[in-house]
Structure 1
């Protein structure tokens, strides 16, 4: 029997490990509040991917510069870093549901602004208005994403968190597969305004899912959202070497091995295509990620999770370097898909470590740091790739980035071997021993006289000193 109270009120049990390759979808079946939240986030992520791809294509169309495409990510990085740290502190101080509704509404306004500026021709000759909107969007996301991720452990039991991580990755990567494709097709068929209009429509789904939830303040009461709160979260992270290393190795992989800023130039210069070809390249990484997430069942049995993360990142770097050598578009897309599959395995296992390591009162701040890493790393990678390509060539930038990432990864793991020594089974046993409460079991169910749903609170209270064992990006 799966964890969580069944429909007849039976006591919960720990769910059996999946016996097949397929991902465990029981959280979607058994917890309606989590299901609506997941559906809303997936649809919203689809719209976000459409706009993110359309902005990169539009900047390249206006400037004809890969460096300017990379600069878009730098513009987004500054508010993301600051907002991720302080946004996570805000998440730990206020009602997370209300905060997510406010930030989602703000993001919808930004998408409407992308549409309006394009319709009136304000970005026909200059890319800076687009970059300004990207900065605002990034600042809002810095609070929106940690708030959503911090809610998930209160909607499902602890035993289902690895499965929920894989499901979040499936939703996000499905959006990554179809979003860029839709962007490429809609831009080619109807222009950039059509792509932005589709994104705007998608905001209805996440707002509906949030509206059906009850209030969800941090467990144990809110805390301050200032510098002291941020510092407390960073001190906690500093005392967790395995958790800290999961952030470091992901940064290395993304900073050196993320070539997406070069896709428009490679689509035209090497593969002889246009926006549709570039969209296919953006989607290829997500295709591999989606396949790996869909076949993620055996990952629950991986005991040496840290070592598996390192191996996955080595495969990522090697596939990216191979993509830089490819001259056939089919081979190039296959290598990008392989890279995406390796990155997905790394993401699922890194999330497994994060979920067990972090108590609820720290979850917003640690998710803020997580957001800075998983979104800031690729943006730094865009800048690095575009800068190297500007002084050499796009192909050299891709190849050197993949190989440099492997080299740096091996150096840091040799210097700090805690990650490759990490034992997931022992860490989970220690986490259970530390808990002062048995795993809770109440499933999220609709209130009889209200349209909201009360959250499940399945996690043990935990302390501030945790060993490490869970986006979901």
Structure 2
């Protein structure tokens, strides 16, 4: 009987896989990975419903895009602190147990948001606090969860696993926001948040069924020494560090989601339904890039691939901003181009730009995740994964704040994504020119 923690090595030379479609081998070879993947996908739908619904509720209560973006500010500091601490825990204790405890924290905070909605509360500050707690729990859970994956699969299958995770993420972000927009409009916030409480059970059960996964290598116990040890490793790990910087650039200047409620209410029309369409378009791009990710497994120049993907992302953000600019100049446009108050050409153009952005972001994420998992030693994986998760989750929140502030300063929605797209393209060009080792990273010889 095979051990899911230590898959048997490949004993024969396998022919390169040349299918256009995603490689399903990780799901076939590792039942624990398959259960974890499926559980996270189902639970993720509920989580995305809550993310969108909280933004809509705060906007309904305040009428302020800045108030929506403040969710990011309240969550940012605790998320960074507890995210890093969670990574230290995952390098010392059973990663399954760390994931279970953090999942309970996220679950309880979602239940609190749900209870407030059913009670008809109109206070905004409890939503900030509970969203902060939910983000902390989810960040620690993700640190343990991503450090678990390399123990369930062969190294050669990590790009395929990242692509499969991209599919699950695409499904969750496609289905979740669309369902959230419809449910909020149809039945209100209480029933909408209840979906997340129920679906989270799937992720919890998938973790319960995992075998114990104790870290290898004898890391320092959680504390300052462990944190310093991780920082020293990251300082030496130029390729991992550069992948973090690239993602920070993209997410800081290219995260327009806090504009969606105002775009739906003021520029494009359609309200909550438009918010769902725009959010889902981004996710569909990620989903499609994962479904047709077969050739990505043969890419060896993964650092260069990251740079190119984020450059495409920057141009897509610029295009989205230009759509908002044109719409702000024309207003709602001709009545013949509207359907139930929605300006269809503007919605289609904005959705197309976000679809390209989602695809490019997912391709970048596949390669960045593979670089990290393939090159980091197991004893360091929890801490480095925690930094990765903090970057992935904190970057968009800083981006939310940037976009919110830009919309207030410029008294318009379009300057944030327009300037942000230009900055992304320029900064990634400089980064790839100056980081030679990352530009020449070879997946056949992974070096952190």
Same-fold status (TM-score > 0.5): yes
8 Å CA contact retained: 1:14, 1:159? no
8 Å CA contact retained: 1:111, 1:199? yes
Q: Counterparts of 2:156 and 2:442 in 1: how far apart (Å)?
A: 17
* Bigger helix share: 2
Matched, 1:415 2:434: yes
Q: Counterpart in 2 of 1:321?
A: 318
* CA deviation profile, 1:252-300 (whole Å, cap 9, x unmatched): 0110011111111111221111001111111111110000011111011
Q: Counterpart in 2 of 1:36?
A: 35
Matches within 5 A, 1:194-205: 194-205=191-202
Q: Counterparts of 1:224 and 1:378 in 2: how far apart (Å)?
A: 30
Matched, 1:382 2:419: no
* CA deviation profile, 1:68-120 (whole Å, cap 9, x unmatched): 11111111111111112111001111111112111112211111101111111
Matches within 5 A, 1:36-115: 36-115=35-114
Deviation of the 1:412 alpha carbon: 2.7
Deviation of the 1:156 alpha carbon: 1.7
- Structure 2 residue runs without a partner (length 5+): 328-345
Normalising by the residue count of structure 1, what TM-score does the alignment of the two structures yield?
Answer: 0.86
8 Å CA contact retained: 1:255, 1:384? yes
2:273 pairs with one of 267, 272, 276? 276
8 Å CA contact retained: 1:115, 1:197? yes
Seen in structure 2, the aligned counterparts of structure 1 residues 4 and 86 have a Cα distance that, compared at 3 Å, is closer
8 Å CA contact retained: 2:306, 2:363? yes
Deviation of the 1:421 alpha carbon: 2.3
* CA deviation profile, 1:311-345 (whole Å, cap 9, x unmatched): 11111011111111124111110110001111111
8 Å CA contact retained: 1:72, 1:131? yes
8 Å CA contact retained: 2:281, 2:354? yes
8 Å CA contact retained: 2:219, 2:226? no
Matches within 5 A, 1:63-462: 63-122=62-121, 124=122, 126-221=123-218, 223-326=220-323, 327=327, 328-392=346-410, 393-425=412-444, 427-428=445-446
Seen in structure 2, the aligned counterparts of structure 1 residues 10 and 54 have a Cα distance that, compared at 3 Å, is closer
Seen in structure 2, the aligned counterparts of structure 1 residues 396 and 254 have a Cα distance that, compared at 3 Å, is same
After superposition, the CA RMSD in angstroms is: 1.8
Deviation of the 1:52 alpha carbon: 0.8
* Count of aligned pairs between the two proteins: 422
SS of corresponding position for 1:24 = coil
Q: Counterparts of 1:312 and 1:424 in 2: how far apart (Å)?
A: 17
Deviation of the 1:30 alpha carbon: 2.2
Deviation of the 1:10 alpha carbon: 11
